[in-house]
Amino acid sequence: MLLLVGALVEAIRLAVTRIPADTVDTLRKAYEEENNGIARFNLENILRAIEIGRERSIPVCQDTGTMTFFIRAGVESPFLKELEGAIIEAVRRATLEVPLRPNAVDVLNGKNSGDNTGRGVPVIHWEVDKGDEVEIAVFPKGGGSENCSALAMLTPGEGWEGVKRFVVEKVRTCGGKPCPPVIIGVGVGGGADYSLKLAKGALLRKIGERNPNKEIAKIEEELQEEINALGIGPMGMGGKTTALDVKIEVAHRHPASFPVGLAIQCWANRRAFLRLKPNGRVEIWQ
């Protein structure tokens, strides 16, 4: 249990102090291709902030978010009973040790719990799988980008054209608010709640990694192109790059429904993964 808590603290630290290599490479490319002066100012600040975060091991963005975990739990893992407690304890410890910003606030009296825990927080999504290993995605989700999440219940007649129109329009009206250049997650089908969960989970995919379905991959590319053509640019002050990538995940839908969930991740693409083997060995990566 103690070892697991320690490993989770390290995964949280990794997620908030280091931006994954795929994201840094894409941001660097955006900087090289940019000729708008203000956009370059912002991208330069972004690349320097990433360096400072890594060198000094401090959170790159002060909004270390709502701590969110996606767990894929093998039913034969001997650690299932301890997992939830270990995660909550790790979030408390990380708040002091990394440190994280305390972001859990009571909805009625507005009181901050001070340690990033509270009713329903950290958010933990469980998925039961076969096998004896547990895989945990650590996903600190910032408020600015989260506020641009949206759900559309399209009519089936609107179809994929409707999906594109909805996503592009929402990204346009959000402008600089979610800290572009952003990563766009889209979930289609499965019902209202599930489409949003799919959208958020999609953000954990590596940049440049396309949906394995060719048709969906094509829509991802088209959407990215349309969004970048909006010219919102870094921080909404104009420029070539608004979306670093677009990720779509799908589930079957009810014949009467066409739910579309939209989740946006800021350029500070916080994520880390942890695998827990049945012998207690842990692997952490980004």
Partner 1 sequence: MAVKLRTPLSREDVLRLRAGDIVHLSGEIVTARDSAHRRILSLPGEELPFNREGAVIYHCGPIVRKKPDGWEIVSAGPTTSSRMNRYLDGILSLGVRGIIGKGGMNPEPFKGRAVYFAFTGGAGSLAAESVERVKAVHWLDLGVPEALWVLEVRDFPLVVAIDAHGESLYR
Instruction: Give residues in contact with partner 1 (CB under 8 A).
Output: 37-38, 41-42, 45-46, 48-49, 52-53, 56, 58-64, 99-103, 105, 110-112, 114, 142-144, 147, 175-177, 179, 231-232, 234-238, 266-268
CB 126, min distance to partner 1, A:
29
Q: For residue 112, which phi and psi values (nearest 5 degrees)?
A: -85, 130
Closest CA to 55 of 7, 19, 80: 19
Residue placing its CB nearer to partner 1 in the complex, 77 or 269: 269
CB 105, min distance to partner 1, A:
7
| Cα gap 274→4, rounded to integer Å | 10
| Cα gap 139→64, rounded to integer Å | 10
Residue placing its CB nearer to partner 1 in the complex, 6 or 102: 102
Residues 6+ apart with CB under 8 A from 195: 151, 187, 188, 189, 251, 259, 260, 261
| Cα gap 149→265, rounded to integer Å | 9
| Cα gap 213→196, rounded to integer Å | 20
Residues 6+ apart with CB under 8 A from 150: 166, 170, 261, 262
Residue placing its CB nearer to partner 1 in the complex, 17 or 211: 17
CB 154, min distance to partner 1, A:
27
Residue placing its CB nearer to partner 1 in the complex, 46 or 262: 46
CB 231, min distance to partner 1, A:
7
Residue placing its CB nearer to partner 1 in the complex, 57 or 155: 57
CB 102, min distance to partner 1, A:
6
Residue placing its CB nearer to partner 1 in the complex, 191 or 238: 238
| Cα gap 190→260, rounded to integer Å | 9
Cα dist from 40 to 37, 123, 153, 282, whole Å: 5, 36, 38, 40
| Cα gap 272→256, rounded to integer Å | 37
Helix (H, G, I), strand (E, B) or coil at 96: helix
CB 132, min distance to partner 1, A:
38
CB 158, min distance to partner 1, A:
27
Q: For residue 150, which phi and psi values (nearest 5 degrees)?
A: -155, 155
Residue placing its CB nearer to partner 1 in the complex, 45 or 213: 45
